[in-house]
C-alpha cells in the first residue's frame, strides 16, 4: 500500500501551518520529514494518520493494506505513550484485544514482536521499571504487533540520550532489513535522517512547504555512521535548513 | 582565600517517608497522660473520664454483645449508602468527564448540591424514603455522591491525553478507551476522592442515627450523652475513631494494590 499526500494545507484558526504539501510515500521505503521547530511536521504526521483532517487537500491510500494488517496506519510517539499500569506484554495485548484474535494467536504475535525487539526477558515488567530506550522498544513492538502497512514515527528517539539513540537506530535498521516496512519518520536530527531515510523531505519554516526532496540511494544496510557520503548529505541538508531554522527561531510564537 | 570547606547540604526535607512507630507512640503517650491526670485528680472526673474506665466500658460492651448490636446496623448503613453514592458518583463523574453536554448540564447542579449540609435534608428524606433504613441510606448516598463526582471528573480531566490519542491511533473502540485507558488513568484521583467521601459518610451516619435510630453507634452515643455517662460516650467515640482508621487503612491497602504501577 502506498500513500499519497496531495496538496495538503492546514491551518489552526488563523495560523497557517502547512501549505500545499505534496508527498509520495512508496511501499517499503522510509520517508524522513525534517524541518525547523514548529514548521508543522507533527501536524503533517497527524494528518497522514487520520488523527486530524486537513483544511484542504487529501491523503490518498493507493492499494490495499495486507490481509493480516490490523491497523494500517500506526504511530510510534515521542513520549512512548505506554499505559503505566500494564506490563510490557499487557501494553502489546492492548492493541490486539479489540480484534477477534484467539488467545494462542495473540500470544504468538506478542512473543514474535518481543523477540524482534529483544524484549522477551522483560515481558512482565512495568513501564516504570524500564529505561527510556526500552520503553521506546516496547512502543515499537506494540506498533509491529498490529502489522502496520505504514509506520508513522514522530521523533521516536528524541527523548533518548545519544548512545541509546544510536543503538535503537541500529535496531530499526535491523528490523527494516528483516522485513521492509513503510514509514514516515519525523525528526529534528539530520544524522537520523541520513541513516534511516530513503527520501528526506525538507520542510520550510511555518507555514511548512516542501523545500526540497533529497533521495539517498545508498542501501540502508550499507550506511555506516561515519560514511563520508552520508556526512556530505547531512551537510547539504543542514545548509538547506540553516537559514530557515535561524529565521524560525526568531519568530514570536503567538498561538 | 578562606579555608576549603564542604559544600553545605540544603536538599533535605519535603520528602515524607513512612515512620511506622511514631503514630502509636503519640496515642500511647497522650492516653497515658490523660490516665495520669485523671488518676491524680488534676483532671476532674466530670471533665474527662479515666481512659481505663472507658476501656472497661468497652470490654463490657464487647462481652454483653451490645457492641455488635450497635455496630452491625451502623456498618450496614455505611456500606449500603456509600456503595450507592460512590458507584453512581463514579459513573456520573466519568460521564461528566467524557461528554461536554453532560458536563455543561450537571457541573452547576453538583456545585449547587455540594455545599448543602446534607443532614438538613434528613426530614425530607424521611418523608420520601421512610423513617427506617431508606432515609439513612439516601442521606449517606447523597453525602458520598457529590465529593465522588467532583473527584472523578477532575481525575478524568487529568488523564494523560496522549494515552487517549494513542488508543485512538490504534483504532481501539470507544468502550476500550474508556475501560482500559480513562478509568485506570483516573483511578488515583478517584481513590483519593474516596477517602474524603467515606469520612463524610461516617459523619452523616452518626448524625442520621442521632436523629432517629434505635440501634447504631450514633444512637448509642446520644443515649450516653443525654445521661452524662461520659465513659460510654467516649467508648462510642473510640469506636468511631477506630472505624475511621479502619476505613482509611482499607483504602490505603487498595491504593497500594491497585496503584502499584505508580513510581
Ligand atoms: N492543536 C493545535 N491547535 C493550534 N495550534 C497548533 C496545534 N497543534 C500545533 N499547533 C501549532 O502549529 C504549529 C506547528 O506545530 P507542529 O507541532 O506540527 O510543529 P513541529 O514541526 O512538529 O514542531 P516541533 O519540531 O517543535 O515538534 C506550531 O506553531 C504549533 O504551535
Ligand atoms: Mg513535533
Give, for B5, the enclosing helix (H) or strand (E).
none
**Residues flanking ligand 1, CB < 6 Å:** A 12, 15, 17, 35, 37-43, 188, 206, 255
Q: How far apart are CA A21 and CA A167, in angstroms?
A: 32
State in Å: Cα A164 to ligand 2 middle.
20
Render pLDDT for A26-68 as a digit per residue (tens, 0 to 9): 999 999 999 988 899 999 999 999 999 999 999 999 989 888 8
Contact across the interface for A98 and B165, Cβ inside 8 Å: no
Among B172, B261, B262, the residue with its CB nearest the CB of A98 is B172
Q: How far apart are CA A24 and CA A33, in angstroms?
A: 12
For position B132, what pLDDT does the model report?
86
> Which of the 8 DSSP states describes residue B175?
H
Q: How far apart are CA A23 and CA A4, in angstroms?
A: 6
Residue to mutate among B170, B178, B187, B261, with most A CBs inside 10 A, is B170
C-alpha angle with apex A57: A3 to A42, nearest 5 degrees? 65
Locate A170 and state its grid cell. Answer: 541500529
Q: Which residues of A touch B183 (CB under 8 A)?
A: none
For position A249, what pLDDT does the model report?
80
Domain ranges of chain A: 2-249
Reduced to 3 states (helix: H, G, I; strand: E, B; else coil), residue B235 is: helix
Q: How far apart are CA A140 and CA B123, in angstroms?
A: 61
Q: A150-154 and A15-25 as β-strands: parallel, antiparallel, unpaired?
A: unpaired
CATH number of the domain located at residue range(s) A2-249 in this protein: 3.40.50.300
Query: What number does the ligand 1 atom closest to the CA of A203 have?
Result: 21
Report the CATH fold assignment for B61-262.
MetI-like fold (1.10.3720)
User: Cβ(A205)–Cβ(A247) under 8 Å?
Assistant: yes
User: Cβ(A74)–Cβ(A143) under 8 Å?
Assistant: yes
Locate B135 and state its grid cell. Answer: 432515609
Q: What is the nearest CA distance from B114 to chain A, expressed in angstroms?
A: 32
Residue A26 CB neighbours (<10 A): 14
The DSSP annotation for B66-77 comes to: HHHHHHHHHHHH
User: Cβ(A200)–Cβ(A193) under 8 Å?
Assistant: yes
Q: How far apart are CA A8 and CA A24, in angstroms?
A: 12
* Strands annotated E in B49-163: none
Domain ranges of chain B: 61-262
For position B252, what pLDDT does the model report?
92
Taking the CA atoms of residue B253, residue B259, residue B260 and residue B262 in that order, the dihedral angle to the nearest 10 degrees is -140
State in Å: Cα A43 to ligand 1 middle.
6
Contact across the interface for A94 and B172, Cβ inside 8 Å: yes
Render pLDDT for B148-204 as a digit per residue (tens, 0 to 9): 999 999 999 999 999 999 999 999 999 999 999 999 999 999 999 999 999 999 999
Render pLDDT for A68-88 as a digit per residue (tens, 0 to 9): 899 999 999 999 999 999 999
User: Cβ(A89)–Cβ(A156) under 8 Å?
Assistant: no
Amino acid at each position: 500500500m502506498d500513500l499519497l499526500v496531495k496538496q495538503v494545507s492546514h491551518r489552526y484558526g488563523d495560523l497557517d501551518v502547512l501549505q500545499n504539501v505534496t508527498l509520495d510515500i512508496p511501499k517499503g521505503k522510509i520517508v524522513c520529514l525534517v524541518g525547523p521547530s514548529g514548521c508543522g511536521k507533527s501536524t503533517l504526521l497527524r494528518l497522514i494518520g487520520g488523527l486530524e483532517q486537513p483544511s484542504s487537500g487529501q491523503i490518498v491510500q493507493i492499494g490495499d493494506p495486507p490481509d493480516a494488517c490490523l491497523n494500517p496506519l500506526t504511530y510510534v510517539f515521542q513520549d512512548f505513550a505506554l499505559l503505566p499500569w500494564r506490563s510490557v506484554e499487557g501494553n502489546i495485548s492492548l492493541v490486539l484485544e479489540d480484534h477477534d484474535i484467539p488467545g494462542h494467536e495473540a500470544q504468538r504475535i506478542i512473543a514474535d514482536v518481543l523477540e524482534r525487539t529483544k524484549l522477551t526477558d522483560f515481558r512482565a515488567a512495568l513501564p516504570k521499571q524500564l529505561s527510556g530506550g526500552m520503553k521506546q522498544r516496547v512502543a515499537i513492538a506494540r506498533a509491529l504487533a498490529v502489522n502496520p502497512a505504514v509506520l508513522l514515527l514522530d521523533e521516536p528517539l528524541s527523548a533518548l540520550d545519544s548512545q541509546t539513540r544510536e543503538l535503537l537506530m541500529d535496531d530499526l535498521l535491523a528490523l527494516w532489513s528483516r522485513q521492509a516496512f513503510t514509514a514516515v519518520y519525523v525528526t529534528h536530527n539530520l544524522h537520523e535522517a541520513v541513516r534511516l531515510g530513503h527520501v528526506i523531505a525538507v520542510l520550510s519554516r511555518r507555514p511548512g512547504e516542501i523545500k526540497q526532496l533529497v533521495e539517498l540511494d545508498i542501501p540502508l544496510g550499507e550506511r555506516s555512521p561515519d560514511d563520508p557520503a552520508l556526512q556530505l548529505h547531512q551537510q547539504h541538508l543542514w545548509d538547506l535548513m540553516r537559514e530557515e531554522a535561524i529565521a524560525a527561531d526568531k519568530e514570536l510564537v503567538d498561538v | 582565600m578562606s579555608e576549603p570547606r564542604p559544600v553545605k547540604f540544603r536538599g533535605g526535607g519535603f520528602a515524607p517517608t513512612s515512620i511506622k512507630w511514631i503514630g502509636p507512640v503519640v496515642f500511647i503517650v497522650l492516653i497515658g497522660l490523660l490516665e495520669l491526670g485523671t488518676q491524680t485528680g488534676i483532671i476532674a472526673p466530670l471533665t474527662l473520664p479515666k481512659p481505663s474506665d472507658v476501656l472497661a466500658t468497652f470490654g463490657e460492651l464487647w462481652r454483653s454483645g451490645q457492641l455488635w448490636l450497635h455496630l452491625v446496623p451502623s456498618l450496614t448503613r455505611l456500606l449500603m449508602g456509600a456503595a450507592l453514592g460512590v458507584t453512581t458518583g463514579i459513573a456520573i463523574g466519568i460521564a461528566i468527564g467524557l461528554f461536554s453536554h453532560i458536563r455543561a448540564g450537571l457541573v452547576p447542579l453538583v456545585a449547587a448540591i455540594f455545599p448543602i449540609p446534607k443532614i438538613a435534608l434528613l426530614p425530607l428524606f424521611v418523608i420520601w424514603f421512610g423513617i427506617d433504613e431508606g432515609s439513612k441510606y439516601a442521606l449517606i448516598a447523597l453525602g458520598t455522591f457529590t465529593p465522588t463526582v467532583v473527584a472523578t471528573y477532575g481525575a478524568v480531566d487529568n488523564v494523560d491525553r496522549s494515552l487517549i490519542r494513542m488508543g485512538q491511533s490504534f483504532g481501539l473502540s470507544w468502550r476500550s478507551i474508556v475501560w482500559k485507558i480513562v478509568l485506570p488513568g483516573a483511578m488515583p484521583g478517584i481513590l483519593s476522592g474516596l477517602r474524603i467521601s467515606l469520612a463524610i459518610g461516617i459523619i452523616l451516619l452518626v448524625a442520621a442515627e442521632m436523629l432517629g435510630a434505635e440501634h447504631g453507634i450514633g444512637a448509642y452515643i446520644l443515649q450516653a450523652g443525654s445521661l452524662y455517662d461520659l465513659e460510654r460516650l467516649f467508648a462510642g467515640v473510640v469506636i468511631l475513631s477506630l472505624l475511621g482508621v479502619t476505613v482509611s487503612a482499607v483504602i490505603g491497602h487498595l491504593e497500594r494494590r491497585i496503584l502499584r504501577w505508580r513510581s
